Structure formats: structure tokens, C-alpha cells
């Protein structure tokens, strides 16, 4: 018994000898003012920019301004009940989000909290929402395409993996439809997707999520949501949080597509925060660093070299214009930052030309290098000839008498335009697009009445579908490959039968 007591005493003495008393310190200030979406606090002398602060023990806030006597905070949570005099406690960490493959298939807010009722998020790590863009020497050329499934884009305005392609146009013209169709078309293409809803209405977000779910796209897509009724601080953080989630997957060697829908609301939320924090306003009342806000976000999209993982992050930012004004402040900023733009024209939308992509005002400065070789055979001169057709059609409306050559050019252009039409969320594979464009550019559709073209196109696809060997070669075929002669023969047989049906 005595030996046992001695052993216990020795253990206690040894534990006390090893114990190192290290008291933890906590810097606590107090809230001195609360505004609409912002707060001011004092007593946080060592706080850092971008640090997360807890107000009244329950409200998260982001440090935006550090002044000699106070700190400006952007609120991230509902601030009901928050008032001057409440505690402001440093967390000593910057704003970060959970990252990992466990987020795929989930709907979360910009702080990584689940919104889909699916339980806690399974994430192996947390990354800051603000991260440096990859160095230039870590980047590889854009060499592989992002197939959108939309013929007019894949053929004339191609997007490559690692590119930043802007989608812009007036409200309610189909910008989100273009982005969602691109996400839906990534099924089976080894490309993960992130859909970031920035300041959208709840009904719009619910509709987009339901579209993804019904088409099986949530299996490879994560959704980050900051609704229009959320605090402007949450809207500000949403695109950066989504990018960090995507970057983690990119550094794991995956190809990731991120849609920011839309950055107009993001800029407005940042303007609201800046004005409330009494920053000097500039053009259109936006702060002077609004260009830097979006450039540091979109610069994170890239294609990494193999020695750095070989992954890619493709950005599709969406922006809303007013009355087709492409020269407004935010649109011109983003046009200059991105590698091209897809302009959705409201005039085409009203005429029923869907998707309403304006070929003349759209451009891809990188994607042509990543485009499948087969497109160069069938769409090499199509952009120029289609633009000429649109000008000629506008001139022909004056009622001028047209010669036979001009009339044929107009009729051919109308068939090209009809070939570009697609229903909402309809996707065509690359071989289907190439075969359709081959039929158009070779003149096979010139004798088909325009109103019959949708049915003819459908039957042509059904006829070529069993020819898997032929279809697989189309996208990679060079301009002089024998596969084009084989396709020519198939087309001649098909349209001979079509002519026989129309003229018995």
C-alpha cells in the first residue's frame, strides 16, 4: 500500500514538473457604431486586414479598413440586436473556407456552411478566400477546349481550359442559360464545376440548382450562394470563396470550371461597403480599387504546368449591361481583364435567335488554340461570312432589287443562322456540331426550306449516329483527311433521300 502511494506521488510530481504554464491572451475591443451592413470597432490595436472578428460572440465580421482610432468591419451574419458597446474579439485568422472534394454536390454559403440540409460538409482543409494568383512560370498554355455544347460558341468563340471568358448582355437575355448549359455539358468530361450565385434572387438560385439536379449535374458541381438579401459582406466574399474551393481541386490536378453569376451585383455590393466605410468614391461612385477587386479574382484562373499538378481553372464571369451599353465602367473593366467575351444581344433574343449570341461583338482571344482541329475545316471562314451576311441582310431590308448571287448569299446565311439555333439547355456533341456545320458550309441545306431545317437536322443526326467510327474521327481530322470524303458521301446519300421525299 505504501509503495502504491509513493508511485502515485512520484507521478504527480513528475506531471507538475513537466507542466508549462502558458496563459492564452485575447485582444478584446468594443463596437462603437453599427450601420447597414457595416460596423466600427475600437480597441483592436493589433488586428490585421482581412482578419475575421467576432462581434457580441455571434456575428462574424471582416476587417475592411484599419484607421488610427478605429477599425471598419463588413458584417457577414445577421446583425439583429447588435449595438454599440458589444464586445469585438479578434479570431487571429483571416476569412477562410472549407475546401475539398467533399463539397462537390453540395450547396453552401460563402463561409462553407451547408444550405441544402445535407449535414456537415466533409472538408480536409481550410483555405483563405484571398490567395495569390499562381506565378507566371507555373502556368502552361491553354491547349484543351471546354466544350459548351452550344454550336455558335464552340465553332466561332471557343473557350479553352484555363481561360477567362466573359458572358455579358442586358438582363433577361439568356446569360445564365449559356453558363448553365456549359456546366450541363461537362457531364462525363472529367471537369468539375462551381456555380457561384452572387446577389441573385432566391427563386433564381432555386431554379438554377433544380436545373442542375434534374440533369444530373450536381454529381460534379458545387454551388456557392450569396443571395440578394444577404449582407453585402457575404456577397463580396462569395466569388473569392468559390475560387478558393475551385483552386484546391485545381492543385489536386483536376480541371475546374467556375461560373460567377454575376459580377455586376458583386461590384455594387463592394461599392455599398466602400461608401458606408467612407472611402472616396470615383467613377459612377465606385471606389478606386474596383478594377483591382476583379483583376485579382480572375487572375487566379489558369492552366498549371504538369510539374505543378497540371490542373486548370476556367472562369466564366457573367456581367449585366444596361441598354446594350458595353462601354460602361464595370463592363469595360472586365472586358479588359478577361481573354474574350460572349455578348448576348437583346435584339437577337427578341427575334427568337436563341442562344442570342452576337458573333460580331464576341471574341475569344485564346480558345482558338485549344479548338478541335475538325472545327477549322468547317468553321474557318464562317465567322467572317456570317458577319457579312448580317450586314447584307440589314441592307436588303431597304427593298433594293438583288441579283442572283446576293440572293443566294442571303439564303445561305439564313441556313447558317438556323443551324446555330438551339433550344434551352440543348447540347450538341462536338462530332454532331462538326457534321452539321459541314452540311451547312457545303451547301447541302441551301435547298431545304428554312422552316424544315430543325426536322432535317434531327434526322441527319439520327442517320450519322450509328457511324461511331466516322463521328469519332471528325473532331480530330485535318483539312485533307479522307474522313471528309467519307462524310461527303454520307451527306449526298442522306440529302438525295431527303430530296426524294420532298419531290416524289
Residues labelled as active-site residues: 365
Pairing mode, if any, of strands 340-344 and 166-169? Answer: parallel
Place of cell 483591382: 292
> Roughly how many angstroms between the first and final C-alpha of the chain, as a whole number?
114
What's the Cα-to-Cα distance from 77 to each of 40, 71, 109, 146, 309, rounded to whole Å?
15, 18, 11, 37, 36
- Helix 404-420 vs helix 453-464: crossing angle, to nearest 10: 60
The three state secondary structure string of 103-167 is HCCCEECCCCCECCCCCCCCCCEEEECCCCCCCHHHECCCCCECCCCCHHHHHHCCCECCCECEE
Measured in whole angstroms, the distance separating CA 397 from the mean position of its chain's CA atoms is 38
DSSP SS3 for 308: helix
Distance CA 173, CA 346 (A): 6
Assess contact for 361 and 345: CB atoms under 8 A: yes
Interatomic CA distance for residues 233 and 62, integer angstroms: 8
C-alpha angle with apex 162: 344 to 177, nearest 5 degrees? 30
Would you say 242 and 260 are in contact if contact means Cβ atoms under 8 Å apart? Answer: yes
Beta-bridge mates of residue 340:
364
| Per-residue exposure over 474-484, b if at least 16 CB sit within 10 Å of its own CB, e if not | bbebeeebebb
Amino acid at each position: 500500500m505504501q509503495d502504491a502511494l509513493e508511485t502515485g506521488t512520484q507521478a504527480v510530481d513528475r506531471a507538475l514538473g513537466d507542466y508549462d504554464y502558458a496563459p492564452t491572451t485575447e485582444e478584446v475591443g468594443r463596437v462603437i457604431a453599427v450601420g447597414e451592413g457595416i460596423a466600427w470597432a475600437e480597441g483592436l490595436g493589433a488586428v490585421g486586414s482581412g482578419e475575421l472578428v467576432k462581434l457580441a460572440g455571434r456575428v462574424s465580421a471582416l476587417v475592411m479598413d484599419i484607421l488610427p482610432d478605429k477599425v471598419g468591419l463588413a458584417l457577414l451574419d445577421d446583425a439583429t440586436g447588435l449595438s454599440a458597446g458589444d464586445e469585438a474579439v479578434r479570431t487571429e485568422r483571416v476569412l477562410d473556407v472549407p475546401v475539398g472534394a467533399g463539397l462537390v454536390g453540395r450547396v453552401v454559403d460563402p463561409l462553407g456552411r451547408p444550405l441544402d440540409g445535407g449535414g456537415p460538409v466533409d472538408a480536409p482543409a481550410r483555405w483563405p478566400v484571398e490567395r495569390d494568383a499562381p506565378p507566371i512560370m507555373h502556368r502552361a498554355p491553354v491547349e484543351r477546349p471546354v466544350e459548351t455544347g452550344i454550336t455558335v460558341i464552340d465553332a466561332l468563340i471557343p473557350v479553352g481550359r484555363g481561360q477567362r471568358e466573359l458572358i455579358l448582355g442586358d438582363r433577361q437575355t439568356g446569360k445564365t442559360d449559356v453558363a448553365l448549359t456549359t456546366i450541363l455539358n461537362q457531364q462525363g468530361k472529367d471537369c468539375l464545376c462551381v456555380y457561384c450565385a452572387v446577389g441573385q434572387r432566391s427563386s433564381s438560385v432555386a431554379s438554377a440548382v433544380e436545373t442542375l439536379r434534374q440533369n444530373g449535374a450536381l454529381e460534379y458541381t458545387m454551388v456557392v450562394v450569396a443571395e440578394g438579401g444577404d449582407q453585402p459582406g457575404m456577397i463580396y466574399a462569395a466569388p473569392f470563396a468559390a475560387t478558393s474551393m475551385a483552386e484546391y481541386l485545381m492543385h489536386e490536378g483536376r480541371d475546374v470550371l467556375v461560373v460567377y453569376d454575376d459580377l455586376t451585383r458583386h461590384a455594387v455590393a463592394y461599392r455599398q461597403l466602400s461608401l458606408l466605410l467612407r472611402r472616396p468614391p470615383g467613377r459612377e461612385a465606385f471606389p478606386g480599387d474596383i478594377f483591382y477587386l476583379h483583376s485579382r479574382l480572375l487572375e487566379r484562373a489558369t492552366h498549371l504546368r504538369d510539374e505543378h499538378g497540371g490542373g486548370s481553372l476556367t472562369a466564366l464571369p457573367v456581367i449585366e449591361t444596361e441598354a446594350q451599353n458595353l462601354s460602361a465602367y464595370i463592363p469595360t473593366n472586365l472586358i479588359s481583364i478577361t481573354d474574350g467575351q460572349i455578348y448576348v444581344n437583346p435584339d437577337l433574343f427578341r427575334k427568337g435567335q436563341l442562344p442570342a449570341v452576337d458573333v460580331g461583338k464576341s471574341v475569344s482571344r485564346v480558345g482558338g488554340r485549344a479548338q478541335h482541329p475538325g472545327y477549322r475545316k468547317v468553321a474557318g471562314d464562317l465567322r467572317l461570312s456570317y458577319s457579312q451576311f448580317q450586314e447584307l441582310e440589314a441592307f436588303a431590308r431597304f427593298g433594293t432589287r438583288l441579283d442572283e448571287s446576293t440572293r443566294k448569299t442571303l439564303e445561305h446565311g439564313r441556313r447558317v443562322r438556323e443551324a446555330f439555333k438551339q433550344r434551352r439547355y440543348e447540347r450538341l456533341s462536338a462530332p454532331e456540331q462538326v457534321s452539321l456545320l459541314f452540311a451547312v458550309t457545303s451547301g447541302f441545306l441551301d435547298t431545304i426550306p428554312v422552316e424544315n431545317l430543325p426536322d432535317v437536322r434531327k434526322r441527319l443526326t439520327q442517320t450519322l449516329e450509328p457511324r461511331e467510327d466516322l463521328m469519332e474521327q471528325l473532331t480530330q481530322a485535318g483539312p485533307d483527311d479522307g474522313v471528309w470524303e467519307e462524310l461527303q458521301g454520307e451527306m449526298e446519300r442522306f440529302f438525295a433521300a431527303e430530296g426524294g421525299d420532298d419531290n416524289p
